[in-house]
Amino acid sequence: MDALKRDLPNFPDEVSTDWLLPYAKSEGWPPLEDEDGMPMKRWRYLLGMRPLRFYRSLSWTLENRSLVPDTLADGEVGKINGLLRAGLLGEQNEYSAISNSRERLTSILQYTLAHGRLPKAPALIQEASGLRIMDGNHRIAVYVYLTGFGGHFTPQYPLEPRQDFWIATPAATGS
């Protein structure tokens, strides 16, 4: 954790601990970078094909808000729908390869129904097209399932749509 805090001092402890620390333990920290500063190996995908300098530029806020499809970045709604279809319905798709997906969804669902809130705040990054999920895909999938996602379907167990989310905003770039 000390190395993460040193390299990403702008990250809230909760985001570092929940998102990056498990991978830092399994993949090593800091990530190896290529000549362009892009993370290599598994880190390239875990960090969304962005260099560490991008992550150092982020400002984080914990927001109590709702999510609806229009607030998410391009492709995120399809990703969440695919995750739900694979995990809850057993559909074979690109998310079927996540071996413990059903168990994770079930565990998060049980916790959320018992406590009325997600177990931890997912982490998202504000992009031009909307919010990109960086950590918490399964939590957001349960959120979508329980809230009806802005009226796109009828939820089985209604949940208060306002939940805590970590939202990162990149530093403004000069023109």
pLDDT tens digits, the chain, 175 residues: what are they?
A: 899 999 999 999 999 999 999 999 999 999 999 999 999 999 999 999 999 999 999 999 999 999 988 899 999 999 999 999 899 888 899 999 988 999 999 999 999 999 999 999 999 999 999 999 999 999 999 998 888 765 556 666 768 889 999 999 998 754 4
- Give me the sheet containing 123-127, strands edge to edge: 59-65, 163-169, 123-127, 130-135
Task: Please state the φ and ψ torsions of residue 62, each to the nearest 5 degrees.
Answer: -95, 115
Q: What angle do CA 75, 62, 52 make, to 5 degrees?
A: 60
Contact 124, 132 (CB under 8 A): yes
> Residue 69 has what pLDDT?
86
> Residue 154 has what pLDDT?
63
> Residue 157 has what pLDDT?
72
Residue 15 structure tokens: 């985001």
What proportions of the chain, in percent to the nearest 5, are helix, strand and coil?
40, 15, 40
